[in-house]
Amino acid sequence: MTLSFPTPEEIARLSARALLEIKAVDFNAAEPFTYASGLKGPTYVDCRRIISYPRVRQVLMDFLGATVMRDAGFEEFTNVAGGETAGIPFAAMVAERLGLPMSYVRKKPKGYGRNARIEGRMDERDKVLLVEDLTTDGGSKLSFVDAIRDTGASCAHTAVIFYYGIFPDTTQRLADHGVRLHHLCTWWDVLAEAKAQSAFDAATLTEVESFLTDPRDWQERNS
């Protein structure tokens, strides 16, 4: 468990720096990436790479634990749940830092046995923190939260390493569902650090900034 609490700004800067250093982030305006939605964009982040870098994962998980305790409270939770699959290792590491039981939530019932979506122990008295690697528009979080609540447990907080931060209705969408989002950094933090490091050429950084400012317009112009 961390003994000090860096400011949110310092956490965001160092988290962005770490993601760039391990090449979890890529910018490519010439050959845009295709997202799960089928739309394209010049930015890509793969938080799964973090698990292969012990020093980076230690620092980022310390940051996530500190962020949750600072923003939600030291004794707010009794269970930490990871979302299948990317959230599972991070939930385990956060649970270790908070000294709490860990469980995980399947995307859908497994179809045999108990046909469960929740694996591990969770009951109606639990106050659950949902941990994931990232969030874009918050949509996948709602299904996980509902599965947790179906057990009778409460889930009013979700914590992620990376939040896109470019879709303005995300936090409101979660809030309307009774969920508060906690995160370490956004695309804007990564862009600022990439500029500071000259990690990509100027033309690419300009195109990325154009995308982040208005992703829908950028996608229409580059479809």
Domain residue limits, the chain: 8-217
Beta carbons within 8 Å of 55's beta carbon, 6+ residues apart: none
Pick the CATH number of 8-217 from 1.20.120.1760, 3.40.50.740, 3.40.50.2020, 1.10.357.20: 3.40.50.2020
pLDDT at 52: 98
Please state the pTM of the whole predicted model: 0.93
| Mean pLDDT for the stretch of residues 111-127 | 85
pLDDT at 2: 46
Assess contact for 102 and 79: CB atoms under 8 A. Answer: yes
Mean pLDDT of the chain: 93
Phi and psi torsions of 67, nearest 5°: -65, -45
Query: Which one is predicted more confidently, 132 or 112?
Result: 132
**Strongest mean pLDDT among 1-5, 10-14, 218-222:** 10-14
pLDDT reading at 3 higher than 70 = no
Helices (H), 52-176: 54-72, 87-98, 139-149, 170-176
C-alpha 139/C-alpha 124 separation (Å) is: 24
Q: E strands of the chain, at which residues?
A: 25-27, 33-34, 40-41, 43-45, 79-83, 102-105, 118-119, 127-135, 154-163, 180-186
Read off the pLDDT band of 190 (50, 70, 90).
Answer: very high
C-alpha 165/C-alpha 138 separation (Å) is: 11
| Mean pLDDT for the stretch of residues 71-87 | 96
Assess contact for 179 and 201: CB atoms under 8 A. Answer: no
